Chains A and B, each alone.
Chain A
Amino acid sequence: MFLINCPYCGERDQSEFSAGGEAHIIRPKQPTELSDDQWAEYLFMRKNIKGVQFERWNHAHGCRKWFNMVRDTSNDKIHAVYKMGEKPPIK
């Protein structure tokens, strides 16, 4: 059970949050101009990394804000949390 540092509320128990999959996948601005393959790339393709992964999280039972998290999936260490629209603080 993680202890997550919500960028708006501070440290809270994981049970207050919901995970929202891979971060930094930008919805195409002109979907109609994409081929089936390109659209499928956006729609379905997600990484499943053993190691450092960039994820979306939502403080669903709190401030309801979405934010990003850098987490190592091999040991669940959270390296950083940052607001939507901000650049990842680490690569």
Chain B
Amino acid sequence: MSKNLRTSNNKFIDQTSRISFKFDGKTLYGFKGDTLASALLANNIHLVGRSFKYHRPRGIMACGSEEPNAIVQVGNDASLTEPNTRVTEIELYEGLEASSQNCWPSVNFDVGAINNFFSPLIPAAFYYKTFMWPANFWKMYEYFIRKSAGLGKSPTKPDKDIYDHRYLHCDVLVIGGGISGIIAAKTAAKNNLNTLLIDDKNNLGGTTLFQQNECFKINNSYSNEWLKKEIETLKSLKNLTIKTRTSLAAYHSYNYLLARENLTEHLDINEKKNKIRQRLWKIRAKKVIIATGAMERPLIFNNNDRPGIMLSSSIKKYIDFYGVKCGQKISLFTNNDSAYETAISLNNSGVSVNSIVDIRDKTNSLIVKQSEKLGIKVHWKSSVVNTNGYKKINSIEIMQLSDDGNAVVGKKIKEECDCLGISGGWTPRVHLFTQSGGKLKFRDEDNVFLPNKSELDQISIGSCNGDFELDEIIKNAADSINKFLKVNNNDYENLEIISSKEIDKKNIWLLPSDKPFGKTKSFLDFQNDSTANDVKLALREGFKSIEHVKRYTTTGMATDQGKLSNMHALGIIAETAGVKMGELGTTTFRPPYTPLTFGAIVGRNVGEFFDITRKTPLHDWHVENKAEFENVGQWKRAWYYPIENENMHEAVQRESKAARDSAGILDASTLGKIDIQGSDASEFLNRVYTNAWSKLEIGKCRYGLMLNEDGMVYDDGVTTRLSENHYLMTTTTGGAANVLSKLEDYLQTEWPELDVYLTSVTDHYGTVSICGPNSKKILSKIIPDLDLSDEEFPHMSFKNALIDNINCRVMRISFTGEHSYEINIQSSFAKSVWEKCFEAGKEFNITPYGTETMHLLRAEKGFIIAGQDTDGTMTPVDLQMDWIISKKKYDFIGKRSLYRSDTIREDRKQLVGLLTDDPKEILEEGAQIVAETNKQPIEMLGHVTSSYFSPNLNKSIALAVVKNGKKLKGQKLFVPMKNKTINVTITDTVFLDKENKRLNA
């Protein structure tokens, strides 16, 4: 550590506890309380990165979240490393490892820096303009651009850290723990309001905490001493929660805010483990007080980006708060009074200030006088026209400004320095205000956007509201808080405040140089390397809107979201285009205010908690019997049950054959089940299904098709009439929740007069489906008392039965075309019934089959799956299911749409069967179907929706939707694939047992 860069007595840094850390592989030391930035500066390291485009050396510029340059990669663990972190926001901890980004092989010697010499050839939108031709070369360009672009490296392995989400409700939320935030929190909490105060730093007090200057006094104490007492009182208050290290990320409507709290970031590397790293607070506040302060603006002049050029207020914080000298010979360059405060602080700490270059003519405020008294030299009405030094600034060149400020005149003075503090005035942090929907107004006097109108219960106070001077801040904040909270707190009346007042204001957005404008490099956006020239070029090329200029030049689009660059870009655009800044407006500030980790966003919703997993009551049996599972919505469904080394195809072929030859057993528990009761239940079904329901006898089942109001098939399933006013509806597995919602919607909004009650009972019953020619024998073994004759228990009917004294409902329905039963039983008994069936079926080689076999078996019969063979554009007529549309019913959902001019078109896509000329060739689902092969482009007639190899027919079968398909039966068509064209013939959709003999086999 360069000892002479650290002042000896410092209140905020614990100089007794030394911390070791690594930067670019080198071990360095800092102290507890340091940020990585202050520790690096104490080690005389300014150069920490390279710029994005020109690879120019860049150093630390700021001390907070607005830092544009000094972003580093933290850590090198493949799952924990984090790119693009601002060194100014990293609290130093034992074991910290950080490295520079965007440079190769090293930050000191970067090959990419050659771009800097070619920079005249790389203007704004260089990439857009250059890599357009020839069009098919883009793939090659893209490869190289992606290789050279990008900041930092993403972790390659899953994040091991733990993140958390929590809700918080409060009466008053105060954002920002600076002087005005403290006044707000104290006033609120003292008046019995449940108050939350948050600040992104690890301490309260903002910049006033280290403001120890004769020009800023309250009741005869230094402002920092007064504030310290305020903080002590504040901490003793009830009703108040203080959260430090907590950054407000997003401010949404209805005072809903997201804040990220860092819990372990500051801990030693060994103490971080197994603790929650970050917590995202979801805050709902009745009232919000924004006290986010202001950030200092840079100045835009030639070569204003060299390491060692820093914001003047940051130099002040480094010396007054961290006790770190940013240089030994510091020059300052300003257009306002705040640089004088920095000069005095430096002077008091024994750092020699070369001079202050001030663009103003001459001014006589309290603080300027004080600095003159100390003998600090000022170059009035002057500008820095150039800086020198490659990896660190070593001198500045100063010239007089012309009266209009557009040019520099006279003799050039060269001044040696190792650090230059710049101050272009202050920008209120209105980001959160605008995120919340607030509208801004522009104050011409000092060129600031200020909060104007908001629809929410909120106020902005302090410097984020444009009050920059101590007495104004306290007085205005106290007044508006009283008014806002409807309280009468007089703690801040009658204070005796001394505050230096800025008298003269002057602003030049782009400072002139002695060099012609085209030869200068005045950076606006330091991170994205866009210069004043780039912005002017964009305007010359015809861009007018600020939003367009921003995107074209990428100004303000880096990870800092242009916190430092936006105002100057706006100023230069307004000036060049000759419009007022207030009229030009500003770009939109979007959340998050500072980048959020993905971990904080997802919280605990990772791994198995990412989504709900629904398991059937038979799940354990499937697992024990080595089923492979597939996800159907949130359900885990048994897909197939491989025996020994069977692959999926082999297993499915075996299962399918067994189900038709003897007996198969399927877990159908996931089917949606809706219990429908009420005196109007039949009428209700009449209205929601396309077919008629009034005459369905008790104990009978019926297949129904449900449409949307636009006539398109929505869902299907079998509904059973359990008693006069009691039905059990089944839906598709995936459609269950939506169907219930739709039915509830119609009942509540269109037909409130109907006496109908709906209850989802999907999870209440397990469903065991047994099918095949031996299914009847198996069922009779389990329920011997039940008469299973076709006369007594025909297809599409239902019986109540007892299995082991447990009530169950047995439906004789079939999705496979086989003689088949579905047993519905209370979920907790489902597994025992399944096992009973399985035991009873052993002599018939009962074979468990999964969803894949189920799909194959139904495709052999041409049964559709809503959502696979339909896609929201198929009417029942398109599906060749005209038979299910009741001609007698006056109305049902979607009826009128079935004869709209579009739905009666004959050339709509219609469901057909497809057979391949080669019976062994299996089509790919989704494959396109065409009529010709030697024409380009060729019209797509349709696509394959379902395709399988049928072991029962010993050939490949498919369902497809084809334009005008109904009329094309027997037609030869083609399915062009990558390496071949498959010949197909259109057929009927039913491939097996057209006469439905097997149902009663």
Task: Using CB atoms and an 8 Å cutoff, list the residues of chain A in contact with chain B.
Answer: 1-3, 13-14, 20, 26-28, 30-32, 34, 36, 39-40, 43, 56, 58, 60, 64-66, 75-77, 84-85
Contacts and interface: CB of A to CB of B under 8 A. Distances in A.
Given A31-B891, A76-B455, 12 more contacts: A1-B253, A13-B284, A26-B750, A28-B896, A43-B897, A58-B741, A66-B748, A66-B749, A75-B253, A76-B253, A76-B254, A84-B752
B741 A60 contact: yes
A43 B709 contact: yes
Given A1-B254, A3-B284, A27-B750, A20 B745 contact: yes
Nearest to A60: B741
B921 interface: no
Contact of B896 (A1, A20, A39, A66): A39
A35 B837 CA distance: 56
B680 interface: no
Query: What 3 A-B pairs have minimum CB-CB distances, sorted nearest first?
Result: A31-B896, A1-B256, A75-B455
B759 to A, nearest CB: 11
Contacts of A40: 900
A79 B738 CA distance: 29
Contacts of A27: 709, 750
A26 B749 CA distance: 9
Interface in B715-763: 741, 744-745, 748-750, 752
A87 B744 CA distance: 21
B941 to A, nearest CB: 27
Contacts of B897: 39, 43
Contacts of A3: 254, 256, 284
Contact of B901 (A1, A26, A36): A36
A77 B436 CA distance: 12
A76 B454 CA distance: 12
Contacts of A20: 745
A31 to B, nearest CB: 4
A38 B748 CA distance: 24
Nearest to B437: A75
A70 B891 CA distance: 31
A56 B896 contact: no
Nearest to A44: B710
20 contacts: A1-B253, A1-B254, A3-B254, A3-B256, A3-B284, A13-B284, A14-B254, A20-B745, A32-B890, A36-B900, A36-B901, A39-B897, A39-B900, A56-B749, A66-B745, A66-B749, A77-B455, A84-B748, A84-B749, A85-B752
* Most B-side CB within 10 Å, residue of A1, A26, A39, A85: A1
Contact of A65 (B437, B748, B891, B900): B748
B895 interface: yes
Q: How large is the interface on B (under 10, 10 to 19, 20 to 34, 35 or more residues)?
A: 20 to 34
* Most A-side CB within 10 Å, residue of B252, B253, B897, B900: B253
B395 to A, nearest CB: 54
A65 B745 CA distance: 8
Interface in B216-270: 252-254, 256
Contacts of B891: 30-32
A40 B710 CA distance: 9
A85 B897 CA distance: 26
Contact of A32 (B253, B254, B455, B896): B896
A31 B895 contact: yes
A64 B747 CA distance: 12
A36 B897 CA distance: 8
B244 to A, nearest CB: 25
A28 B750 CA distance: 10
A77 B749 CA distance: 24
Interface in B353-405: none
Contacts of A64: 744
Nearest to A66: B748
Nearest to A56: B749
Contacts of B709: 27, 43
Nearest to B890: A32
A39 B252 CA distance: 39
B374 to A, nearest CB: 52
* Most A-side CB within 10 Å, residue of B455, B745, B896, B897: B896
Nearest to A33: B896
Interface string B18-49: 00000000000000000000000000000000
Contacts of B749: 56, 66, 84
A30 B397 CA distance: 85
A91 B891 CA distance: 33
A13 B167 CA distance: 11
A14 B252 CA distance: 12
B251 to A, nearest CB: 11
B761 to A, nearest CB: 15
B738 to A, nearest CB: 11
Given A1-B254, A3-B254, A75-B455, A34 B896 contact: yes
A74 to B, nearest CB: 9
Contacts of B710: 43
Contacts of A85: 752
A50 B741 CA distance: 28
Contacts of B455: 75-77
A87 B890 CA distance: 29
A64 B900 CA distance: 33
A88 B814 CA distance: 49
Nearest to B744: A64
Contacts of B896: 28, 31-32, 34, 39
B106 to A, nearest CB: 46
B531 to A, nearest CB: 38
A48 B254 CA distance: 22
Nearest to A85: B752
A60 B745 CA distance: 11
Contacts of B256: 1, 3, 13
Nearest to B740: A64
A66 B744 CA distance: 9
A84 to B, nearest CB: 5
B254 A2 contact: yes
Contacts of A1: 252-254, 256
Contacts of B750: 26-27
A75 B439 CA distance: 11
B745 A76 contact: no
A76 B437 contact: yes
Contacts of A65: 748
Interface in B896-934: 896-897, 900-901
B216 to A, nearest CB: 40
A19 B875 CA distance: 26
Contacts of B895: 31-32
Contacts of B900: 36, 39-40
* Most A-side CB within 10 Å, residue of B254, B744, B750, B900: B254
Nearest to A65: B748
Contacts of A43: 709-710, 897
A20 B745 CA distance: 9
